[in-house]
Amino acid sequence: MPLVGAILLAAMGANAATINTPRVDFMLECQGCHRPEGVGLPSANVPTLKGHVSKFLHTSEGRAFLVRVPGVAQSSLSDERLAAVMNWMVEEFDPAHLPVNFRNYEAKEVNELRKKIMRNPNTIRRRILKASGFNPNDGYQ
């Protein structure tokens, strides 16, 4: 665990049982860009998760996209921990758009998806949102 993460956890009073929670993994791996509230920084090409991220779960391509995004796919998290972060993230930041038939990500699925390198994520992102009936610029406004 990076020194900064260890210091942060110590300052929070975290004990060994809480170190590897999805929330903490999000803090250590994702919030540097997407910020603690999941609001991103659209002006720097970092999309907002809050109120938007679950829109991708309405198609299998969108579901795969979320794991294949370069910052996610190349995360240092294990497949199991990354699946847990993805499940936590969609429920935490965008429960309103979760499909009724949503099923949790699993480590095996994450493992397979991470192997498929994504080029042009923003082009793919817009196409998926548009095909799902959402504004293709969602998350960047």
Q: What is the mean pLDDT of residues 18-31?
A: 88
Per-residue pLDDT at 56: 96
Is residue 77 one of the residues assigned to a domain?
yes
Per-residue pLDDT at 113: 97
Is residue 109 one of the residues assigned to a domain?
yes
Per-residue pLDDT at 5: 59
Is residue 99 one of the residues assigned to a domain?
yes
Full residue range of the structural domain in which residue 112 is found:
21-131
Distance, in Å, from the CA atom of 56 to the CA atom of 66, rounded to the nearest integer, reads 7
Per-residue pLDDT at 1: 46
DSSP element (H, E) containing 7 = helix 3-12
Mean pLDDT of the chain: 89
Question: How many domains is the chain partitioned into structurally?
Answer: 1
Task: Report the percent of the chain where pLDDT is more than 90.
Answer: 73
Is residue 6 one of the residues assigned to a domain?
no
Whole-model pTM over 0.95: no
Q: What is the mean pLDDT of residues 37-48?
A: 91
Is residue 32 one of the residues assigned to a domain?
yes
Is residue 91 one of the residues assigned to a domain?
yes
Residues sharing a CB contact under 8 Å with residue 103, sequence separation 6 or more, in sequence order: none
Is residue 3 one of the residues assigned to a domain?
no
91: domain CATH number is 1.10.760.10
